[in-house]
Amino acid sequence: MKDISLHIMDILQNSTRAKATVIELLVEEDEQNDKLILKFTDNGTGMSQETLEKVLNPFFTTRTTRKVGLGLSLIKQNAEQTGGSLEIESELGKGTVVTVTFGLSSIDRPPMGDLAGTVVLTASAYPDVRFIVNYKNSKVDYVFDTDEINEALDGISIQEPEIIQYLTEMFRENIS
Protein backbone atom coordinates (compact mmCIF):
# COMPACT_ATOMS: atom_id res chain seq x y z
CA MET A 1 0.00 0.00 0.00
CA LYS A 2 1.31 3.40 -0.96
CA ASP A 3 0.48 5.25 2.23
CA ILE A 4 -0.51 4.75 5.85
CA SER A 5 -4.07 6.00 5.35
CA LEU A 6 -4.75 3.00 3.08
CA HIS A 7 -3.54 0.68 5.85
CA ILE A 8 -5.85 2.55 8.23
CA MET A 9 -8.81 2.03 5.91
CA ASP A 10 -8.04 -1.69 5.69
CA ILE A 11 -7.93 -2.13 9.47
CA LEU A 12 -11.09 -0.05 9.98
CA GLN A 13 -12.86 -2.24 7.44
CA ASN A 14 -11.59 -5.35 9.27
CA SER A 15 -13.27 -3.99 12.39
CA THR A 16 -16.56 -3.38 10.59
CA ARG A 17 -16.46 -6.92 9.16
CA ALA A 18 -15.99 -8.12 12.75
CA LYS A 19 -19.33 -6.43 13.54
CA ALA A 20 -17.82 -3.71 15.72
CA THR A 21 -20.25 -1.00 16.76
CA VAL A 22 -17.54 1.22 18.24
CA ILE A 23 -14.13 1.67 16.62
CA GLU A 24 -11.50 3.91 18.16
CA LEU A 25 -8.32 5.01 16.44
CA LEU A 26 -5.48 6.88 18.07
CA VAL A 27 -3.00 8.49 15.68
CA GLU A 28 -0.14 9.91 17.72
CA GLU A 29 2.94 11.61 16.36
CA ASP A 30 5.32 11.34 19.30
CA GLU A 31 8.18 13.58 18.20
CA GLN A 32 10.01 13.22 21.52
CA ASN A 33 10.33 9.45 21.11
CA ASP A 34 10.42 9.54 17.28
CA LYS A 35 7.35 7.33 16.92
CA LEU A 36 4.14 7.36 14.94
CA ILE A 37 1.62 5.24 16.82
CA LEU A 38 -1.63 3.89 15.40
CA LYS A 39 -3.85 2.17 17.95
CA PHE A 40 -7.10 0.60 16.76
CA THR A 41 -9.58 -0.62 19.36
CA ASP A 42 -12.90 -2.23 18.49
CA ASN A 43 -15.70 -4.08 20.23
CA GLY A 44 -16.19 -6.56 17.41
CA THR A 45 -16.32 -10.34 17.54
CA GLY A 46 -12.65 -10.68 18.39
CA MET A 47 -10.44 -13.58 17.35
CA SER A 48 -9.77 -17.00 18.78
CA GLN A 49 -6.24 -17.84 19.90
CA GLU A 50 -5.92 -20.06 16.82
CA THR A 51 -6.89 -17.22 14.45
CA LEU A 52 -4.67 -14.76 16.33
CA GLU A 53 -1.68 -17.04 15.77
CA LYS A 54 -2.35 -17.11 11.99
CA VAL A 55 -3.55 -13.56 11.31
CA LEU A 56 -0.15 -12.17 10.31
CA ASN A 57 0.40 -14.92 7.74
CA PRO A 58 -0.24 -13.32 4.31
CA PHE A 59 -1.74 -16.59 3.05
CA PHE A 60 -4.38 -16.71 5.79
CA THR A 61 -7.72 -14.93 5.59
CA THR A 62 -11.17 -15.45 7.01
CA ARG A 63 -12.69 -13.85 3.91
CA THR A 64 -14.27 -16.07 1.30
CA THR A 65 -13.79 -13.63 -1.60
CA ARG A 66 -10.02 -14.14 -1.84
CA LYS A 67 -7.36 -16.55 -0.63
CA VAL A 68 -4.86 -14.10 0.86
CA GLY A 69 -5.01 -11.58 3.68
CA LEU A 70 -2.16 -9.18 3.05
CA GLY A 71 -3.35 -6.15 5.06
CA LEU A 72 -1.91 -6.84 8.50
CA SER A 73 1.23 -8.53 7.19
CA LEU A 74 1.96 -5.54 4.92
CA ILE A 75 1.51 -2.92 7.63
CA LYS A 76 3.68 -5.03 9.97
CA GLN A 77 6.40 -5.17 7.31
CA ASN A 78 6.16 -1.40 6.71
CA ALA A 79 6.35 -0.70 10.45
CA GLU A 80 9.32 -3.01 10.98
CA GLN A 81 11.22 -1.37 8.10
CA THR A 82 11.14 1.84 10.14
CA GLY A 83 12.26 0.18 13.38
CA GLY A 84 8.66 -0.15 14.56
CA SER A 85 6.35 -3.03 15.37
CA LEU A 86 2.82 -4.41 15.27
CA GLU A 87 1.00 -5.95 18.24
CA ILE A 88 -2.43 -7.56 18.29
CA GLU A 89 -4.55 -8.38 21.31
CA SER A 90 -7.92 -10.03 20.81
CA GLU A 91 -10.46 -12.07 22.67
CA LEU A 92 -13.52 -13.77 21.27
CA GLY A 93 -16.64 -11.77 22.05
CA LYS A 94 -14.70 -8.79 23.38
CA GLY A 95 -12.97 -7.21 20.41
CA THR A 96 -9.50 -6.48 19.15
CA VAL A 97 -6.69 -3.99 19.75
CA VAL A 98 -4.09 -3.49 17.02
CA THR A 99 -1.13 -1.24 17.82
CA VAL A 100 1.25 -0.27 15.03
CA THR A 101 4.37 1.77 15.72
CA PHE A 102 6.45 3.38 12.99
CA GLY A 103 9.72 5.26 13.27
CA LEU A 104 8.38 8.79 12.81
CA SER A 105 11.43 10.25 11.08
CA SER A 106 12.44 7.07 9.26
CA ILE A 107 13.04 7.54 5.56
CA ASP A 108 11.33 4.17 5.08
CA ARG A 109 8.05 5.29 6.67
CA PRO A 110 5.30 5.59 4.06
CA PRO A 111 3.62 9.00 3.90
CA MET A 112 0.42 9.45 5.90
CA GLY A 113 -1.71 10.03 2.83
CA ASP A 114 -5.24 11.40 3.09
CA LEU A 115 -6.08 10.58 6.71
CA ALA A 116 -9.05 12.97 6.78
CA GLY A 117 -10.58 11.60 3.60
CA THR A 118 -10.03 8.02 4.71
CA VAL A 119 -11.64 8.51 8.11
CA VAL A 120 -14.62 10.51 6.87
CA LEU A 121 -15.36 8.23 3.91
CA THR A 122 -15.11 5.13 6.09
CA ALA A 123 -17.39 6.70 8.71
CA SER A 124 -19.92 7.69 6.06
CA ALA A 125 -19.87 4.17 4.60
CA TYR A 126 -20.79 2.73 8.01
CA PRO A 127 -23.23 5.24 9.54
CA ASP A 128 -24.36 2.82 12.26
CA VAL A 129 -20.82 2.43 13.62
CA ARG A 130 -19.40 4.94 16.08
CA PHE A 131 -15.93 6.07 14.98
CA ILE A 132 -13.77 7.93 17.46
CA VAL A 133 -10.48 9.16 16.01
CA ASN A 134 -8.00 11.00 18.20
CA TYR A 135 -5.14 12.68 16.34
CA LYS A 136 -2.31 13.94 18.56
CA ASN A 137 1.04 15.59 18.18
CA SER A 138 2.91 18.31 20.09
CA LYS A 139 0.62 21.02 18.65
CA VAL A 140 -2.71 19.26 18.08
CA ASP A 141 -5.11 17.09 20.05
CA TYR A 142 -8.16 16.64 17.84
CA VAL A 143 -11.05 14.22 18.38
CA PHE A 144 -13.43 13.23 15.57
CA ASP A 145 -16.42 11.43 17.09
CA THR A 146 -19.33 10.40 14.88
CA ASP A 147 -21.76 10.40 17.83
CA GLU A 148 -21.02 14.09 18.43
CA ILE A 149 -21.18 14.81 14.71
CA ASN A 150 -24.51 13.02 14.27
CA GLU A 151 -25.93 14.91 17.23
CA ALA A 152 -24.83 18.22 15.70
CA LEU A 153 -26.24 17.21 12.31
CA ASP A 154 -29.66 16.78 13.96
CA GLY A 155 -31.06 14.21 11.53
CA ILE A 156 -29.02 15.11 8.45
CA SER A 157 -27.22 12.03 7.17
CA ILE A 158 -23.45 11.81 7.47
CA GLN A 159 -23.66 10.22 4.01
CA GLU A 160 -24.73 13.43 2.28
CA PRO A 161 -22.00 14.53 -0.17
CA GLU A 162 -21.95 18.09 1.22
CA ILE A 163 -21.55 16.75 4.76
CA ILE A 164 -18.73 14.42 3.71
CA GLN A 165 -16.93 17.31 2.04
CA TYR A 166 -17.46 19.61 5.04
CA LEU A 167 -16.29 16.99 7.56
CA THR A 168 -13.22 16.15 5.48
CA GLU A 169 -12.24 19.83 5.30
CA MET A 170 -12.92 20.26 9.03
CA PHE A 171 -10.77 17.22 9.88
CA ARG A 172 -7.92 18.45 7.65
CA GLU A 173 -8.01 21.93 9.20
CA ASN A 174 -7.96 20.53 12.73
CA ILE A 175 -4.94 18.29 12.21
CA SER A 176 -2.80 20.74 10.25
Give pLDDT tens digits for 137-168: 999 999 999 999 999 999 999 999 999 999 99
Q: Across the chain, which distance is largest between two alpha carbons, in Å? A: 46
Instruction: Tell me, yes or no, whether 50 lies in a domain.
Output: yes
CATH code of the domain covering residue 87: 3.30.565.10
Q: Is residue 100 part of a domain?
A: yes
- Give domain status of residue 166, yes or no: no
**Number of structural domains, the chain?**
1
Q: Are strands 141-145 and 95-103 parallel, antiparallel or unpaired?
A: unpaired
- Does residue 62 register a pLDDT over 70? no
**Residue 175 is assigned to a structural domain of this protein:** no
Domain range for residue 134? 4-113+128-145
Mean predicted lDDT score pLDDT of the chain: 92
In a domain, residue 29? The reply is yes
In this prediction, residue 59 has a pLDDT band, given cuts at 50, 70 and 90, of low
**Residue 120 within any structural domain of the chain:** no
pLDDT band at 67 (very low <50, low <70, confident <90, very high): very low
